[in-house]
Amino acid sequence: MKTAIVIGATGLVGNLVTQKLLEDSRYERVKVFVRRSVHLKHPKLEEHLIDFGKIEIWKEYLTGDELYSALGTTIKKAGSKDAQYNIDFTYQYEVTKAASQNGVEKYILVSSAGANYKSKNFYLRMKGKQNEKVQLISFKQIFIFRPSILSGERSELRLGEVLGIKIAGIVTKIIPALKKYRPIEASQVAEAMIKSANQNLSAKIKIFNPDEIFEI
C-alpha cells in the first residue's frame, strides 16, 4: 500500500483529497503538512503542523509515493500580491523540490484554467509560471489539473465566487463554446486527481484542462 502527501489540506480541494485518500484502501498513510489543523481523526492520518517558510526544519518528513499539491490563497486573504505569490508559488515550489529529492515519484497539482506565464493577469501568470517550473523537477510522473470555477462548501464565504459560479453556470449554458468552462464540483476534481495517480497512465507529464477533468 502507498503513502500520500498533501499540502493545502485545509482548503476546498485539498481537504476533499485528504478525506478521499483516508477512505481509499490503496493508501496506508496520508501525511498532511499544514499551518493549522485539519481537524480530522483517522488512524491513517499523520498531521504535521509546520511553517512553510522554514522548510529546512521539516522537509525530511516529505517522504511517500505521491504528492498532492493544493496550496493556495487569495490576495484578500494573503494581504498583498507578494504574500499570495509566496503561498501559491514559492512555498509549493520548495515543497515540490524537496519531495522529489526525497524520492517521491508522482506529483499531482491543482492549478487553474487559463494558467499562462505570459498572461497579463497576475493570478494566471503566477499559476502559469508555477506550471512551467514544476515540470522541470524530477518526478516519474506529473499531473497538472486546470479546473474552471470550483463549486463546493468552503470554510469561509466568498461572495464574489458564489456570484461567479451562478453567472458562469448561466453563460456556459447559453454559449456552447464555453461549456468546458462551466463550474465544476471540487469533489470531482479531488476524485480525478486521485484517479490519475492510480490509472497507470503512460504520459510522464499530463495537463488536464477543464473539459478533460469532467471526463475522468
Specify the range with the lowest mean pLDDT, choosing from 9-23, 116-130, 138-152.
138-152
Q: Could you count the other beta carbons within 10 Å of the beta carbon of residue 16?
A: 23
* Predicted confidence (pLDDT) per residue in 34-44, tens digit: 999 999 999 99
Sign of CA dihedral 33, 103, 115, 188: negative
DSSP-derived 3-state class of residue 106:
strand
Segments making up each domain of the chain, as ranges: 2-149+184-215
Place of cell 464565504: 157
How are beta strands 2-7 and 66-69 bridged, if at all? parallel
- CATH, range 2-149+184-215: 3.40.50.720
Cα–Cα distance for residue pair 97/202, rounded to 1 Å: 23
Mean pLDDT of the chain: 88
